[in-house]
Amino acid sequence: MKAAADNNPSLTIILPAYNEGGVIGAVVAKLAADFPHAELLVVDDCSTDDTAARAAEAGARVVSHKYNMGNGAAIKTGVRHAKGEILVFMDADGQHRAADVQRLLEKLDEGYDMVIGARNAKGQAGKRRLLGNFLLNKLASLLTGQRILDLTSGFRAARAEIFRQFLYLLPNGFSYPTTSTMAFLRSGYSVGFIPIEARRRQGKSKIRLLRDGIRFLVIIMRITTLFSPMRVFFPVSLFFFLAGVTRYLWFYLETGNFSNMAGVLLISAVLIFLIGLVSEQITALHYGFSRSQCRPPEDSSMAESE
């Protein structure tokens, strides 16, 4: 299947939207003109303005939440309703360019399972956000062993069959890009990046740097321990082991006796390592089972409006 063909009926472009009535019509209209045979799916997260009506008028299929559930919840709703074999996720606020969708699809056709639009410095919302994303990218690259250029970008394309395997992991908040990227990489799926220049968003950002930054860090650790526990447990175990050996050698050279503290540190190192080893085995067994049993659940909490 050629994902890059813009006349492919198995392409779904998902736009989660909340109070984007001022711009959603133009965004959908541009996508409809560039990808006339793609399914354009707008998930209205219980907006208080005319987002749903504007999107429908521009030619999108609209799915509406009964109440505000969050960006991640809107993504999950879109994936459950999508008909395409290839999914493209993009913001509804005009940040992402319709022309870059084709570049995502062309990169995906090279054999990748997910392709992410990596923003440059101009596309980041301020210096603090730029620094925060830089640190998150470095930490995630260290934990996964892969170079991650933009962990939090919401502009991406993925194969629907694979993306649905991780749907149960996605949080309802703004950190779905972090979770899906980490899950793909830790599970051995190929993730590619293309450079993009994101426009300045119109309206007020709904992300809070400190609050969501802490959540991103927690999610990185959670996903890493879920898919590869030894990447967390082994360094901690090694630290306790080296601390125990150092304490023993120093105390022995000073007094000629064994240090009780050294014994505690060495025993702790062994226990932490064994916990990590068992966790690794449980994860491998559980994940293999869950992948084979994965089925997208029905969502009864949404109402569809055409």
Instruction: Show me where the domains of the chain are located.
Output: 11-227, 230-292
**Where does the pLDDT of residue 161 fall: very low under 50, low under 70, confident under 90, or very high at 90 and above?**
very high
- The amino acid occupying position 97 is R
User: Which tokens is 37 given?
Assistant: 């045979």
Position 151, amino acid: L
Question: pLDDT tens digits, residue range 47-104?
Answer: 999 999 999 999 999 999 999 999 999 999 999 999 999 999 999 988 999 999 999 9
The amino acid at 32: A
- Look at strands 11-17 and 39-44 and give their pairing: parallel
For tokens 């984007």, the residue is: 20
Beta-strand relationship, 156-159 and 86-89: antiparallel
Q: Which residue has the higher pLDDT, 1 or 263?
A: 263
3-state class (DSSP) for residue 36:
coil
User: What's the confidence (pLDDT) of residue 125?
Assistant: 54
- The reported pLDDT for the residue numbered 304 is 43
Per-residue buried b or exposed e for 283-298, using 16+ beta carbons within 10 Å of the residue's own CB: beeeeeeeeeeeebee
Q: Which helix (H) or strand (E) holds 12?
A: strand 11-17
pTM reported for the whole predicted model: 0.75
Cα(170)–Cα(80) distance, integer angstroms: 13
Mean pLDDT score, 8-12: 77
Count CA atoms closer than 13 A to 162's CA, side-chain side: 19
Rounded-to-integer distance, Cα 13 and Cα 17, Å: 13
Closest CA relative to residue 265, chosen from 236, 243, 234: 243
Q: What is the second-level CATH architecture of the domain 11-227?
A: Alpha-Beta Complex (3.90)
Q: How far apart are CA 275 and CA 282, in angstroms?
A: 10
For residues 142 and 173, is the Cβ–Cβ distance under 8 A? no
Residue 255 has pLDDT above 80, yes or no: yes
The conformation of residue 165, written as its DSSP 8-state character, comes to G
Confidence at 218, pLDDT banded by 50, 70, 90: confident
Minimal CA–CA distance to 11: which of 20, 21, 1?
A: 1
- Report the Cα 256 to chain-centroid distance in Å: 54
> What is the Cα–Cα distance from 5 to 154, expressed in whole angstroms?
22
273 pLDDT higher than 80: yes
Distance CA 174, CA 299 (A): 20
